[in-house]
Every structure is written in C-alpha cells, then in structure tokens.
C-alpha cells in the first residue's frame, strides 16, 4: 500500500500541501482531482521523490520514499512530456526499455504502440508529432516496465474520445497487477476510478468511491461537490 502521513510542503513562505494523510489501496485506480493550483502535481512529485517534503512521510509497502529500488517499480507519466525529439517514436520506446533494463520482443513493442495508436507513426521523428501524439507516446513509455505502481499526471490530455475509452479499458486491466494513481480534470474519467481524492485548500477535502462522495454531498456529479465545498468555504469565511 502507498501510505501518506501528515505530509506538508512549502515553497518559501507559501504552504502548498498541509498535513495530508491518506492510504492508496493496492490494485485500484485512485483519481486525484481538484482545481488547478491545489497541489496535485506537487503531491505526485513528493511521492516520486522529485520534491522533498518538509514534514510527514511517504511509504510504499512500508518502505520510505524516496528509495531507488522502489522507484524501479513505479511507472511515471509527467504533465510535460520527457521525450527525445530527435529520435523516432519507436526509438524512444527502445531507448526507455533499455533504461528499464527490460528486453521487449518485437510483438510486445508493437502491442504497446498499437495500444496508443502510434504503430503507423512509429518511424516518424517525435519533433514532428502533435501534442496528443506525444502524450500517447509518454503513456506507452510509462507502461513499458509493467510497474507495480503507475502514477499518471493527466494522461489523456489532447487525446481523442475513442482512444480515451480504449486507454481506460487498458488501465482497468492493469489494476489486476498494478496500483494506479491518476490526476484528471475530466469528471467523466473521475467516475471511472475506484477511489477519488478531492484536493482543495492544500489538503484532501473528500475521499471515497465516486458514488460515496456523491451520496455524502447529495449531488449528482463531481463538479457539484466542488461547488458545495466552495459555498461552505465562503460561509465559514463570512462567519469569521
């Protein structure tokens, strides 16, 4: 299990994350959602060991992060694509597979490219890819290592609706052997998650299955949950 305990993070005098404690169960898709600027990407970077948190702890299977051996079991897709533009799509796949020390058969490579619908574009240099194509290639690379933990920061931005459905079908297959944490601004995608963590005001404002959260706030969609939270915040501010 991925466990976050009393985690706080500041940049200078500004607090970005404050006393976050949450468990992320194995073999589920956990959606991390919230307005821009609420700290979702910062939290993910803390989980990856890319940002040093100020207080608290992050553990995976009782091992404190950062830990190099554990990081080898994590597939990560950042908000911005980290690709080699002077290589083809296929060469990027082959390079990162080598970095992961993973031998991939030609069949496995083609299967990965087919998943993200890049088989026809595999020999094109990445500098000529569209933004959506780069996102799809980044997703394919995150899946290469068949990781135990898969952390995806807005993986479907710029991807067409039909392919999104295919990708989500694949993500649900992956959770049989992996634990997934996904950020998204798309509420339809949020409803596909097993568990949601709603971020607001530097912390987790609500958590549970999508249906549990809707029932708790007595609303019909997740957008309305954030409206409810906003109204309560204004009410509390006016009382103070």
Do 224 and 157 share a domain, yes or no? yes
Domain tally, the chain: 2
C-alpha distance across the termini of the chain, in Å:
39
Do 154 and 68 share a domain, yes or no? yes
Q: Which domain holds residue 125?
A: 83-145
The token duo for 186 is: 């798309």
Q: Is 38 a domain residue?
A: yes
Backbone φ, ψ for residue 55 (5° rounding): -140, 160
Q: Is 164 a domain residue?
A: yes
Do 155 and 109 share a domain, yes or no? no
The pLDDT of residue 56 is 96
Q: Is 151 a domain residue?
A: yes
pLDDT tens digits, residue range 141-190?
Answer: 988 877 899 999 988 887 888 888 888 998 999 899 999 999 998 889 99
The token duo for 171 is: 């993500």
Among 117, 145, 173, residue at a domain's last position: 145
Do 23 and 96 share a domain, yes or no? no
What's the CA gap between 191 and 211, in Å, rounded?
A: 8
Residue 103 has pLDDT above 80, yes or no: no
Give the rounded percent of residues in the chain with a pLDDT score beyond 70.
Answer: 98
pLDDT tens digits, residue range 21-74?
Answer: 999 999 999 999 998 888 999 999 999 888 999 999 999 988 898 888 887 788
Do 138 and 94 share a domain, yes or no? yes
Q: Is 138 a domain residue?
A: yes
Do 99 and 122 share a domain, yes or no? yes
What count of residues does the chain have?
A: 240
Do 234 and 222 share a domain, yes or no? yes
Do 135 and 173 share a domain, yes or no? no
Q: Per residue, what are the HEC states of the chain?
A: CEEEEEEEEEECCEEEEEEEEEEECCCCEEEEECCCCCCHHHHHHHHHCCCCCCEEEEEECCEECCCHHHHCCEEEECCCCCCCCCCEHHHHHHHHHHHCCCCCCHHHHHHHHHHCCCHHHCCCEHHHCCHHHHHHHHHHHHHCCCCCEEEEECCCCCCCHHHHHHHHHHHHHHCCCCEEEEECCCHHHHCCCCEEEEEECCEEEEEECHHHHHHHHCCCCHHHHHHHHHHHHHHHHHHC
Q: Is 217 a domain residue?
A: yes
Do 64 and 24 share a domain, yes or no? yes
Do 171 and 234 share a domain, yes or no? yes
What's the CA gap between 214 and 102, in Å, rounded?
A: 42
> Does the N-terminal peptide bond of residue 5 adopt cis geometry, omega within 30 degrees of 0?
no
Do 62 and 173 share a domain, yes or no? yes
Residue 100 has pLDDT above 80, yes or no: no
Considering only residues 11 and 112, tell me which one the structure prediction assigns the higher pLDDT.
11
Backbone φ, ψ for residue 123 (5° rounding): -100, 10
pLDDT tens digits, residue range 188-210?
Answer: 999 999 999 999 989 999 999 99
Among 145, 165, 198, residue at a domain's last position: 145
Do 65 and 18 share a domain, yes or no? yes
Q: What CATH number did the domain enclosing 226 receive?
A: 3.40.50.300
Q: Residue 176 burial by CB count (10 A; 0-12/13-18/19+): exposed, middle or buried?
A: exposed
Among 106, 123, 145, residue at a domain's last position: 145
Q: Is 78 a domain residue?
A: no
pTM of this structure: 0.88
């Amino acid at each position: 299990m991925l466990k976050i305990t009393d985690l706080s993070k500041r940049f200078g005098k500004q607090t970005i994350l404050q006393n976050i404690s949450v468990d992320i169960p194995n073999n589920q898709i956990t959606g991390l959602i919230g307005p821009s600027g609420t700290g979702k990407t910062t939290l993910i970077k803390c989980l990856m060991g890319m940002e040093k948190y100020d207080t608290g702890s992050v553990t995976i299977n009782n091992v404190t992060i950062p830990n190099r051996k554990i990081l080898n079991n994590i597939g990560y897709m950042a908000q911005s694509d980290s690709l080699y533009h002077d290589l083809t799509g296929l060469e990027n796949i082959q390079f990162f597979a080598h970095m992961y020390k993973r031998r991939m058969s030609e069949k496995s490579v083609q299967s990965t490219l087919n998943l993200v619908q890049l088989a026809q574009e595999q020999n094109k240099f990445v500098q000529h890819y569209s933004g959506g194509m780069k996102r799809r290639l980044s997703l394919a690379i995150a899946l290469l290592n068949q990781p135990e933990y898969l952390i995806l920061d807005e993986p479907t931005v710029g991807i067409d609706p039909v392919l999104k459905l295919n990708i989500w079908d694949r993500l649900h297959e992956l959770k049989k052997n992996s634990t997934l944490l996904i950020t998204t601004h798309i509420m339809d995608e949020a409803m596909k998650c097993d568990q949601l963590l709603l971020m607001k005001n530097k912390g987790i404002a609500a958590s549970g299955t999508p249906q549990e959260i809707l029932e708790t706030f007595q609303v019909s969609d997740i957008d309305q949950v954030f409206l409810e939270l906003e109204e309560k915040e204004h009410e509390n501010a006016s009382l103070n």
